[in-house]
Amino acid sequence: MLSGWILPALALTTMIFLDRPAAAFEPAQDDVPFEEEQAIDFRISGEVKANYRWSQQDRFPLTFFPEGFVPQGRDNVAMATVSPGSSFEVSKATLFFDVDFPRSIYGRVKIDVIDLYDRNPTTGDYKIDVDEAYLRFGMKYESLEAIPGSHLFALFGKAPKFERQLFRRLESYGLVQTAFNRFNDMQLQFGGSFGGNLYFRAQVSNGNPHFFRDPNALAGDHGVVPPPNPDLALESGFPIFYHAETEDFAFGDNMESGGGVGVRFLSEDQQNGIDIMGFYYKTTLEEEAELHGTFYEGDLDILNGAGVSLPIEGDRRTEWGVNVDFAVAGLGGFFQFVDEEAASLPRRGLELELGYDIITGDPGDPGALFPIVSPVFRYSRLDNDFTAPFGYVAPSVAWDWTKVDIGVRLTILQNIDLTMEYSLHDISASRTINHDEFLATLRFRFP
């Protein structure tokens, strides 16, 4: 068990950052008045997202299921579009609670309500989710942010994985972001830099359980109602394997550890730059990872299937990858490659997103109408180097998959934007799978 040293390590880290002079890690700064240095800055903000979604309908029958598994009103068990046709829906309301303490200590709590597009299964998972809750000691400079000098930081709690793309130009996710690092993790993370260009990250965490979901907006329903002849509200979609959201605050023997090293270079005006990072993770899959709202269980249990197993061996999951984040002359891009092996099932993914900001007004003017128009293109691919035997519960997990997303984000006013995007899928199934989707998202931010 590792839990015995986690809290002492956190306490020691806290004392180091509270007691050690800031000059040991950061460039010298002018003297700050005592009253200003001790000030606590607390902020509340939020956003609401409303959506129009159209999903192309298709159905892939699975003839090997017994009669008792056939849902009510269906002729057979099938992988099918989660919710075909058109729908208007409010997908998420979010509250952010941010606080800056003295000595570069920062805390955040992010609460999602409704959370429609993150829930899995859609009808059975939590409708209120604490998406982030962490404390950070020391400054952390994210991708393409200028690093003023050598520094260290540590954070503890539920937070994004360090290799995750933090700024998505579209509301949907590519295949790689869905499969490997879409969700946050309970973690203890350390990091820092040597000078202004070379930086590192290290993380120990719960690890996100291996499960499956459809890569379009709605995850679908998996194991919400047990047989015989379940009455289903939504279909299963065409699932791929992904790293599901972790809900519990617990550290045990199946923890994940990882690290990364990167370099970044920025222009003098910090408008252009490139950030390259390599990373590696390893963990041990659980026999049965419990998930909320479904009687299916993740990790080795889902790989074993419902009596028909994938060709698995062992219980280790390892992954390595490379990120490239860049900005040049208004064009921004993010590339990620990931190579994973889970219980000896290998797969690889790559994703490239490009966006260009067309400035048509003053973005700093709250009354400016349509000040920014941002066309976006994203290409993602997932290659699975294993096959699913006849009778496995979801053969789509072994299909090779290409997804192209084309969209535009319109900044209507400073705190209101509209994103419209269309997803095209090319799937290596035994026949053509029609799985395209259009998604429009109107986002209101406050204050």
Give the pLDDT confidence of 366-378 residue by residue, as tens digits.
Answer: 999 999 999 999 9
Q: List, in sequence order, every beta strand (DSSP E) within 182-311.
A: 185-194, 198-205, 210-213, 240-243, 256-266, 273-284, 289-290, 297-298
pLDDT at 325 over 80: yes
Task: Give the pLDDT confidence score for residue 368 in this predicted structure.
Answer: 95
Q: Please list the alpha-helical segments (H only) found in 357-420.
A: none
Are the CB atoms for 162 and 41 separated by under 8 Å?
no
Mean pLDDT (whole number) for 98-111: 97
* Domain layout of the chain by residue ranges: 41-446
- C-alpha torsion 313→317→320→325, nearest 10: 130
Of 31-40, 298-307, 409-418, 430-439, the one with minimum mean pLDDT is 31-40
Class (C level, CATH) for 41-446? mainly beta
pLDDT band for 440, please (50, 70, 90 cuts). Answer: very high
The gap from C-alpha 421 to its chain's centroid, in whole angstroms, comes to 19
pLDDT (0 to 100) of residue 36: 52
Over residues 192-243, the pLDDT tens digits come to 999 999 999 999 999 999 999 999 999 999 999 999 999 999 999 999 999 9
Task: Determine the average pLDDT of the residues in 389-406.
Answer: 97
pLDDT given at position 249: 63
Report the pLDDT value the prediction gives residue 209, as an integer from 0 to 100.
95
35-44, 123-132, 263-272: least confidently modelled range: 35-44
pTM of the model: 0.90
pLDDT at residue number 254: 79
pLDDT at 306: 81
- On the question of pLDDT at 291 being above 90, the answer is yes
